[in-house]
Amino acid sequence: MKNPVTTYGYAFAHNNTMNESTDTNPTSSGTRVVTRFAPSPTGFMHIGGVRTALFAYLYAKKMGGEFILRIEDTDKAREVEGSIEHIQESLRWIGIEWDYGPDKPGIHGSCLQSERLDLYKKYAQKLIDKGLAYPDPYTTDEVAQFREKAQEEKRPFLFREHRPETFDTWDGTKPLRFKVPEVKRYHWHDEVRGALEAGEEMLDDVILIKADGFPTYNFAHIVDDHEMGVTHVMRGEEFISSTPKFLSLYDALEIPYPKFVTMPPIMAADGKKKLGKRDGAKDILAYKNDGYLPETMLNFLALIGWNPGTEQELFSKEELIEAFTLEKIQRSGGAFNEEKLLWMNKEYLQKIDTSAYVAYAQAAFPESITGLPNFSEETLTKLVPTIQERVHVRSEITEAAETGEYSWAFTTPEVPKELLKWKKDDSAHDAVPRLHKVHELLSTADFSTPESIKAAVWDYAEEVGRGELLWPLRVALSGRERSPDPFTCAYIVGKDETLLRIRNASETLA
RNA sequence: GGUCCCAUCGUCUAACGGCUAGGACACAUGGUUCUCAUCCAUGAAAUCGGGGUUCGAUUCCCCGUGGGAUCACCA
């Protein structure tokens, strides 16, 4: 193959012959683990896809092997502009890196199937030469009629029942079909499911190369997995039933089977059906926009369909790689639990440092907050720990901000008289002398931390009864029924503002 | 419809055939506390049904039931 145009034909790829016996191929006979994720570029990446990619990635890294990102762009009609970039962005976001990919061809050539067409033709020719492939003589309408008839008779449609006795040489204008050599029951081993089997009705004369010259998935993925030295084929359970088809192709091509690793499906929240795009599966990057951290998504996704068998639930990427094993992949499907995702995001959100959280929170604030007279990054920095303690995801910050939960930090609140009364009793007037006293104490207090403020007034609060002082003080500062404690409020707004608000409250009550 | 796969608290799940079926999320109660939040403690909550093998079954086998997947010139 001297064709200089083929894009899989990188100089070094020429040395890696595609039709020599497999045991001279170091990648397929060696012990090095190679896994791949092979999406078609038909839109965004959803949870299920990323999870499958993640497991393949984790296993490869665990074993010190390689992870390949291969784009299966053989259906130009379904291809969506920009999705190759989108897929890469999604994977990179949660920290999945690939050794070879669309942007990173390697010893096996391009990782775009559309750039490997000559390779599939070469393998197809092998089958033709063995008498195991032939051109489909029917029109699409004719095949459709066969199918309809089979459906009416309530039996599965099998093309091989219509296989012509003789056929012309394939000229590339018709689809090339596989002539399944032997219709039999297949038994195989799955690393997760164990012994699996399927019957004759799954075996058929599948299309190898379509009329447009592109290969089908059935054919292309086998060729590529072999060429790229993939040792473990990790994919969803939707491929179990078509595995006999693949197995018959491996046999015909004289390619050794890789190890099959079936991942459990991710179910929609009701746990009833598989989570798919039409069941509300979101673009993984939508979670990014919503304010979920990549650490959260990585950790959470890893735990859908896998667990280490210990009680640990929080894992860094490194810990996941270390702990990951095929044996612990589940057989049954799991629902995507958004509530637990929220909990986990909060766990990770509480670990990030204040300056990072300031940026995170600031992006969530609406104009009604950022436009406030005293809005500043300095004040926000002081406010952040109290937000961090409460919030699971960014949208909660926006919501809280819109209902005025943070406004007091950036503008002097108007405090209703009723609110200043603790326990709604009639002791409001008693609060006035207490507020005078605390004003006096705070005017000379150290405002460098909430604790130093607390130290300045605590003894007095104990003396008069904590609630009797702390409730009106806190409400005077925040203007809200619920808020952080008064010391934190005072610290956030600063000394001058604190003293001003105490005076305002005294006047309101007087 | 044919074929295949799966089955433990509401959810995610643990339990080489052997302690009282464990943990987490969510929920409830109590404690700390001026409120909210945090934190701590406690509680309620499960082996789909029926047979079989076994001294013993969540675990192994069979039948049911339920759910899922698949039967394209889609991957």
CB A464 within 8 A of CB A431: no
The reply to whether A51 has its C-beta less than 7 Å from any atom of strand B is no
Q: Which nucleotide is nearest to A198 (CA to C1')?
A: B4
A296 token code pair: 């959260």
Domains assigned to chain A: 118-263 (3.40.50.620), 352-409 (no CATH), 418-509 (1.10.10.350)
CA pair distance A292, A314, nearest whole angstrom: 15
The reply to whether A17 has its C-beta less than 7 Å from any atom of strand B is no
**Span CA (A218) to C1' (B42), Å:** 57
Quick count: other Cβ atoms within 10 Å of Cβ A223? 23
Whole-number pLDDT of residue A430: 78
- The CA-atom distances, in angstroms, between A100 and each of A14, A320, A451 are 17, 21, 54
**Span CA (A279) to C1' (B75), Å:** 19
**Which positions ≥6 away from A275 have C-beta within 8 Å?**
A46, A47, A48, A265, A266, A267, A268, A281, A336
The reply to whether A391 has its C-beta less than 7 Å from any atom of strand B is no
* Catalytic residue (one of A274, A277, A340, A437): A277
Residues 234-273 of A with CB under 7 A from strand B: 237-242, 264-265, 267, 271-273
A32 token code pair: 């090095």
Beta bridge partners of A176: A135, A209
Whole-number pLDDT of residue A137: 93
Whole-number pLDDT of residue A427: 61
- pLDDT tens, N- to C-terminus, chain A (510 residues): 333 322 222 222 222 223 322 233 334 445 799 999 999 999 999 999 999 999 999 999 999 999 999 999 999 999 999 999 999 999 999 999 999 999 999 889 999 999 999 999 999 999 999 999 999 999 999 999 998 888 888 778 899 999 999 988 999 999 999 999 999 999 999 999 999 998 788 999 999 999 999 999 999 999 999 999 999 999 999 999 999 999 999 999 999 999 999 999 988 766 566 776 666 678 999 999 999 999 999 999 999 999 998 889 999 999 999 999 999 999 998 888 899 999 999 999 999 999 999 999 999 999 999 999 899 999 999 999 999 999 999 999 999 999 999 999 999 999 999 899 887 665 656 789 999 999 999 999 999 999 999 999 999 999 998 999 999 999 999 999 999 999 999 999 999 999 999 999 999 988
Q: Which nucleotide is nearest to A483 (CA to C1')?
A: B36
Whole-number pLDDT of residue A272: 60
CA pair distance A244, A239, nearest whole angstrom: 10
**Span CA (A168) to C1' (B69), Å:** 37
CA pair distance A369, A410, nearest whole angstrom: 8
CA pair distance A99, A298, nearest whole angstrom: 19
**Span CA (A332) to C1' (B6), Å:** 5
- The CA-atom distances, in angstroms, between A476 and each of A87, A116, A154, A217, A338 are 52, 72, 77, 68, 38
Whole-number pLDDT of residue A21: 29
CB A493 within 8 A of CB A464: no
The reply to whether A214 has its C-beta less than 7 Å from any atom of strand B is yes
Q: What one-character DSSP code corresponds to residue A101?
A: B
CB A443 within 8 A of CB A457: no
Neighbouring C-alpha atoms within 13 Å toward the C-beta of A313: 11
CA pair distance A197, A260, nearest whole angstrom: 13
A82-88, Cβ contacts within 8 angstroms, sequence gap of 24 or more: A83/A41, A83/A42, A83/A43, A83/A44, A84/A41, A84/A112, A86/A43, A86/A44, A86/A45, A86/A285, A87/A39, A87/A41, A87/A45
CA pair distance A82, A42, nearest whole angstrom: 9
Chain B positions with a protein C-beta closer than 7 Å: 1-8, 10-15, 22-26, 33-38, 67-75
Q: How many residues comprise chain A? A: 510
**Which positions ≥6 away from A347 have C-beta within 8 Å?**
A296, A314
Whole-number pLDDT of residue A9: 27
How large is the C-alpha radius of gyration of chain A?
A: 33
Looking only at the bridges linking them, the beta strands covering A266-267 and A259-263 are: unpaired
Q: Which nucleotide is nearest to A150 (CA to C1')?
A: B1
CA pair distance A61, A38, nearest whole angstrom: 17
The reply to whether A432 has its C-beta less than 7 Å from any atom of strand B is no
Question: Residue for token digits 């300056």?
Answer: A355
Whole-number pLDDT of residue A29: 46
The reply to whether A325 has its C-beta less than 7 Å from any atom of strand B is no
The reply to whether A345 has its C-beta less than 7 Å from any atom of strand B is no
Neighbouring C-alpha atoms within 13 Å toward the C-beta of A365: 25
Let me know if A423 is a catalytic residue: no
CB A455 within 8 A of CB A394: no
Whole-number pLDDT of residue A221: 98
The reply to whether A279 has its C-beta less than 7 Å from any atom of strand B is no
The reply to whether A335 has its C-beta less than 7 Å from any atom of strand B is yes
The reply to whether A304 has its C-beta less than 7 Å from any atom of strand B is yes
Question: Residue for token digits 């089908």?
Answer: A216
**Span CA (A351) to C1' (B45), Å:** 32
Backbone angles phi, psi at A378, to 5 degrees: -65, -45
CA pair distance A112, A325, nearest whole angstrom: 29
Q: Which residues of A37-56 are buried (b: 16+ CB within 10 A; e: fewer)?
A: bbbbbebbbbbbbbbbbbbb
Determine the protein residue whose CA lies at the shortest distance from the C1' of B39. A389
What is the rounded (10 degree) CA torsion for A433, A438, A440, A445? 180
